[in-house]
A and B are shown apart, each in its own frame.
Chain A
Amino acid sequence: MPLNTLQKLEILADAAKYDASCVSSGGDKRNAGSGLGSVTGQGICHAFTPDGRCISLLKILLTNFCIYDCAYCVSRRSSDVPRARFAVDEVVKLTLDLYRRNCIEGLFLSSGIARSVDQTMEELIRVAKNLREQHEFRGYIHLKTIPGASPELLAEAGRYADRLSMNVEMPTDASLSALAPEKSAVEIKRGLARTRSYIDASTEPSRGSAPPARYAPAGQSTQMVVGADRSTDLDILRASSNLYASYSLKRVYYSAFSPTGHASAQLPSRATPLMREHRLYQADWLLRFYGFSLPEVESTLADGMLDAALDPKLAWALAHRDAFPVDVNQASRESLLRVPGLGTRSVDRIVAARRHGKLRLKDVARLTASLARVRPFIVTPDWRPRHLLEDATLRQRLAPAPQQLALAL
């Protein structure tokens, strides 16, 4: 008996949920005009599931039939999952129905490769084009691009999508060829490179009268599965540094490997601790927004792994106590950013507030989330951390007690 739309949704949303990216941020702000939908720029999370993740987009596959056999993927051909395939119109209707009820910001559409790469890419584009042109849908669209798709199709995808993404999946070529023998690291990187070139061309100041054609205004992103192979955190951070430098990526997503119920003998049977994923994001942030270099982050690693018990910034500070304490009223923005417990927003507020008078400890308390965390590393006119920094137990006092991440409702 053919499946109805709801049954297909069960299968094809389940297959898509392992993709971590769900944001609807970035892109050109726009209103509905005569059509339906808008993009606010910051993105909206319409709901949160009990895994603490945001639902912003309807995230589904067009089909989970796939000729490839990537071990980490629930839709690989050797997986014994039920298979389904949406018609273009079904996806369009689902998107519009949920959008009109204010459940989503738009659509995130990916697909298994049912027959050929280009044919799959064409179908993805057909959905986006239908939404845009037949229904004047002006909400957010995130399209997955397929490694090896022709340059013409990549160019077309960016005309309809706000964001494009192509997953590198594994931090090293060796892991990719071991776990996804039919995928080619070069083809993936080429895809990212092409998309970057198209994005560059669309954002170049136009010389003629016509502005450059719109192309994926919210940029591109990629994802790595963490913990399915034996790569270390250093392997992963090195790969993402190269990716950020090479392809103007908005984000590299890290997705902790979790069992799907359709195990491959090649993979661990247990989920990667979420803490590992969390620490990787923290390190990624240090590299991108806090002025840390990869060798600096590397200096805090043991056997190439981030410390699960300490956030990487605190780990760096404890290993470089000579860089502290930092005078809150004098220090440069760069040194303030190195203080554990001070985020970019706190630092900006401190820098703005100190122009209007000396900051004392209670002022700092108002500007930061947790004074206890910050205090050992700063100096104010009424505070100096005498022996705190030399204290061998500092780590114990600052490292949070192991927390149960999942508490009962």
Chain B
Amino acid sequence: MALRSVTLPQDCGEEAFRRVARSCLAHRLHPDEVIFDSSGTGSLFEPAEPRDVPAILMPRRFVDLASNVVCHSAEDRFALLYRLLWRIHGGERHVLDRAADPDVQRAQQYAKAVERDIYRMHAFTRFRERVIEGRPMFVAWFEPQHRVLQKAAQFFVDRFTNMDWMIATPSGTAAWQDNLLHFGPPVARPPKEDDAVLDEVWQTYYRITFNPARLRVNAMLAQMPKRHWPTMPETSSVPELVRTARNRVGDMERSAPDRPPRFAGVLAERRLGAAREVPAPWDALKEAAHACKHCPLHAAATQMVFGEGPLDASIVFVGEQPGDQEDLQGRPFVGPAGQVFDRALAQAGIDRGTAYVTNAVKHFKFEPRGKRRIHQKPGTVEVTACRQWLQGELDVIKPKLIVSLGATAALSLAGRAVPVTKERGSIQTWGGRMVLVTIHPSYLLRLPDPDVAAAEYDRFVADLQRAKLWCEGAK
């Protein structure tokens, strides 16, 4: 078996490699027969692409992988890619899906190393501002591990479009001027020039933002390897920060509690002295309800949701509890059930603005499930704990009629479990108050059969109409 050596340019990019690989493949050169040489010496065989071979397809995934792998500095990168291509065309079409395959694994490691190098170039490049021919120019020197300058440059174009800049690396330069990106040959490392922002502001910020109580040097080294330090000015303060961290923490832990400065006392007094007006009884009731901790619901819910409407309303609607939207907005009946309720009210000829709308339980009871809250029916404990707030509202408003929406409202108003479906539409006297019993509008949202839902909705509107008529009659 004759070995063929294929010479590739030192800065061989993905396209050049693809061209060569294609022609090797067309010549049916086995991977063991080819040596890819990118050292720039020797030129034994330059396979020409035969005209009569059909185009050789390269799967998209291979092209993507190769575009990173060719940038890697490892000598075997081309051989590895060619071997994979050979296998893809030799019956292993899906070899790249086999992450556990040694070739695939190595190629992916190379690709990942290149991606990481690009990321680090984006992260660790530091520009110094210079004035060249009267124009500000931002100049950086960076030493990547692999040949990533070409791939990394677009990021700087996208970000620093309105600046002139130049990044020099040992293998070439990229410059952006007058909205043109230009890649050039390597230049000597530019002398470091003073830049007050990098040398003072940035250094100061780096030093101060470090918290000595959290010293974890290895975590820093893993993310910011020392080989990049020479071009990152902030790292010059690392040794001192590490050396002094322990003592600084010790001093802080031993420091006596602060003597408050004089203005602290003044501020404290001023805050205490801000005379609070005595609230009107209604506001006092609402405030007390806001502070309520009679049951545990206040801990997870956003806020107490009080009733809403004119205090001389002749009709009061009592629901179960605030739901997700009501909890967020702090207003009753504004979620999906609230929308059904509004529609039914309008159809029954009741102006919501003239009615008082509230709930039996004032905090949202739910179970957290990932990014959602699952509504939970309040139990006797919560209903009982919350009862005083509803009664407080009713005592002030003294409505002609209360419409009890659903079982929880009925439980609170009657003080016992009420079979709502049986008693719905009836008007009860509970605790000296007139109450019309009906279902909760959320029940209508849960009915799967549209015919049943429509019929139930009509019954609900009829109940509301009955309430309206009754109130008018009571006038």
Closest residue of chain A to B92 (Cβ to Cβ) is A356
- Answer yes or no: A148 CB below 8 A from chain B CBs: no
Tell me how far the C-beta of B70 lies from the nearest C-beta in chain A, rounded to whole angstroms: 23
Contacts of A51-103 to chain B: CB distance below 8 A: 51-55, 58-59, 67, 69, 77-80, 94, 97-98, 100-103
Please, which residues of chain A bring their CB within 8 A of the CB of B105?
366
Per the bound structure, the CA–CA distance linking A245 and B212 in Å amounts to 34
Judge whether A408 is part of the interface by a CB distance below 8 angstroms: yes
With A32-B160, A79-B258, A242-B300 already in contact, the answer to whether A50 and B216 are too (CB < 8 A) is yes
Residue of A at shortest CB range from B125? A102
Which of B367-375, B385-393, B418-426, B460-468 lines the interface with chain A? B367-375
**Least Cβ distance of A191 to chain B in Å?**
10
Instruction: Say what secondary structure dominates the interface of chain B.
Output: helix
Check A397 for interface membership: any CB of B closer than 8 A: no
A33 and B157 CA atoms in complex are apart in Å by 10
| Nearest CB in chain A: distance from B106 CB, A | 10
A44 within 8 Å of B (CB atoms): yes
Contact A264 B209 (CB under 8 A): no
Asked if A123 is at the interface of the complex by the 8 Å CB criterion, the answer is no
B256 in contact with A353 (CB, 8 Å)? no
Q: How far is the CB of A135 from chain B (nearest CB, A)?
A: 10
Is B459 part of the contact surface with A, judged by Cβ < 8 Å? no
Interface members, chain A 100-135 (any B CB < 8 Å): 100-103
Residue A202, interface by CB 8 Å: no
Tell me which of A34-42, A210-218, A370-378 binds B: A34-42
Using an 8 Å CB-CB cutoff, how does the interface string of B358-373 with A read, 1 for contact, 0 for none?
Answer: 0000000010111111
Nearest chain B CB to A74 CB, angstrom units: 10
Of B180-188, B196-204, B429-437, which stretch is located at the interface? B196-204
Chain B hits for A262, CB < 8 A: 255, 258
A-B contact count (CB 8 A): 276
Q: Is the CB of B257 within 8 A of A265?
A: yes
A101 surroundings in chain B (CB, below 8 A) = 126-129, 138, 195, 197-198, 202
Give CA–CA (A104, B138) in the complex, Å: 15
**Neighbouring B residues of A100 by C-beta, 8 Å:** 127, 129, 138, 160, 163
CB distance from A29 to the nearest CB of B (A): 10
- Residues in B neighbouring A263, C-beta threshold 8 A: 252, 255-258
Question: Number of contact residues on B: which range applies?
Answer: 35 or more
| A260 adjacent to B224 (CB under 8 Å) | no
Contact A193 B302 (CB under 8 A): yes
Tell me the residues in window 10-59 of chain A with beta carbons closer than 8 Å to chain B beta carbons.
Answer: 10, 13-14, 16-18, 31-38, 40, 44-55, 58-59
A270 contacts the other chain (CB 8 A): yes
Question: In the docked arrangement, what's the CA distance between A58 and B206, Å?
Answer: 10
A401 located at the interface, meaning its Cβ lies under 8 Å from any Cβ of chain B in the complex: no
Decide: A407 and B267 in contact? CB cutoff 8 A.
no
Cβ–Cβ contact A245 & B271, under 8 A: no
Q: Check B260–A77 contact: CB distance below 8 A.
A: yes
Query: Is the pair B264, A189 in contact by a Cβ cutoff of 8 Å?
Result: no
Interface check B259, CB cutoff 8 A: yes
Is A335 an interface residue when CB atoms closer than 8 A count as contact?
A: no
Question: A80 CB to closest chain B CB, in angstroms?
Answer: 4
Q: B322 → chain A, closest Cβ, in Å?
A: 11
The interface bits of chain A over 236-273 (1 if a CB of B lies within 8 angstroms of the residue's CB, else 0) are: 00000110111010000000101111111100011100
A172 contacts the other chain (Cβ, under 8 Å)?
Answer: yes
B328 touches A94 (CB 8 A): no
Complex Cα distance, B380 from A296, in Å, reads: 28
**Smallest Cβ distance from B304 to chain A, in angstroms?**
8
C-alpha gap A259/B235 in the complex (Å)? 25
**B475 near A: Cβ within 8 Å?**
no
Q: Name which residue of chain A comes closest to B197, CB basis.
A: A97
A392 close to B (CB within 8 Å): no
Distance of A292 from chain B, by nearest CB (Å): 11
User: Residue of B at shortest CB range from A287?
Assistant: B370
Of B197, B215, B253, B302, the residue contacting A246 (CB under 8 A) is: B302
B298 within 8 Å of A (CB atoms): yes
Given the interface pairs A77-B267, A79-B258, the reply to whether A357 lies near B216 with Cβ below 8 Å is no
- Given A58-B205, A353-B98, A366-B99, residue A48 in contact with residue B219 (CB < 8 A): yes
A261 touches B138 (CB 8 A): no
Chain B contacts with A in 213-258, Cβ cutoff 8 A: 213-224, 232, 234-235, 238-239, 241-242, 245, 249, 251-258
CB distance from B302 to the nearest CB of A (A): 4
Interface string of B312-327 (1 = CB under 8 A from A): 0000000000000001
B238 touches A409 (CB 8 A): yes
What chain B residues lie within 8 Å of A245 (beta carbons)? 366, 368-373
Known: A53-B214, A197-B329. A246 touches B205 (CB 8 A): no
Q: Provide the residues of chain A in CB contact with B159, threshold 8 Å.
A: 31-32, 36-38, 139
Q: Is the CB of B99 within 8 A of A353?
A: yes
Complex Cα distance A97/B126, Å? 12
Q: A173-B298, A190-B302, A246-B302 are in contact. Are A407 and B204 (CB under 8 A)?
A: no
| Contact status of A34 and B218, CB under 8 A, knowing A241-B368, A366-B105 | no
Say if the beta carbon of B122 comes within 8 Å of chain A: yes
Chain B contacts for A409, CB-based, 8 A: 217, 221, 238-239, 242
Q: Is A186 in contact with chain B by the CB < 8 A criterion?
A: yes
Contact A173 B299 (CB under 8 A): yes
CB distance from A243 to the nearest CB of B (A): 8
Residues of B within 8 A of A406 (CB): 215-217, 245
The reply to whether B160 and A190 form a contact with Cβ atoms under 8 Å apart is no
Check B140 for interface membership: any CB of A closer than 8 A.
yes
Structural contact, A80 and B261, CB atoms closer than 8 A = yes
- What 0/1 readout, one digit per residue, does chain B (153-170) give for beta carbons within 8 Å of chain A? 001101111110000000
Which residues of chain A have C-beta atoms less than 8 A from B212's C-beta?
51
B263 — which chain A residues lie within 8 A by C-beta? 77
Instruction: Identify which of A13, A270, A274 contacts B214 (C-beta below 8 A).
Output: A274
> What are the interface flags for B81-105 relative to A under an 8 Å C-beta threshold, 1 for contact and 0 otherwise?
0000000000000100111101001
User: Residue of B at shortest CB range from A103?
Assistant: B202
Distance of A333 Cα from B249 Cα, bound (Å): 45
Query: Which residues of A are found within 8 Å of B128, using beta-carbon distances?
Result: 101
A339-354 vs B, Cβ < 8 Å mask (1 yes, 0 no):
0000000000100110
**Quick one: CB contact mask for B48-89 with A, threshold 8 Å, 1 for yes?**
000000000000000000000000000000000000000000
The residues of A that contact B204 with a CB separation of less than 8 Å are 6, 9-10, 13
Task: Name A6's contact: one of B200, B253, B260 (CB within 8 Å).
Answer: B200
B4 at the interface (CB under 8 A from A): no
- A314 interface hit (Cβ, 8 Å): no
What is the bound-complex CA distance between A405 and B246, given in angstroms? Answer: 13
State the Cβ distance, A20 to closest chain B Cβ, in Å: 10
Check: A359 CB closer than 8 A to any chain B CB: yes
- B residues near A38, Cβ cutoff 8 Å: 155, 158-159
CB-contact partner of B123 in A34, A44, A182, A363, under 8 A: A44
A49 x B209 contact (CB < 8 A): yes
Q: Which residues of B contact A182 (CB under 8 A)?
A: 271
Q: Provided the pairs A47-B234, A242-B368 are in contact, do residues A77 and B219 lie with their beta carbons within 8 angstroms?
A: no
Q: Which residues in chain A, 354-409, are within 8 Å of chain B measured between CB atoms?
A: 355-357, 359, 362-364, 366-367, 405-409
The 8 closest A-B pairs by CB, nearest first: A52-B219, A245-B368, A363-B100, A258-B213, A51-B214, A78-B260, A52-B216, A49-B210
Q: Name 9 A/B residue pairs within 8 A (Cβ), A-sorted.
A: A51-B211, A67-B267, A78-B261, A101-B198, A102-B156, A193-B330, A197-B328, A260-B252, A367-B100
User: Other than the known A49-B211, A173-B293, A406-B245, what 4 A-B pairs have Cβ atoms closer than 8 Å?
Assistant: A186-B290, A245-B373, A246-B328, A409-B238
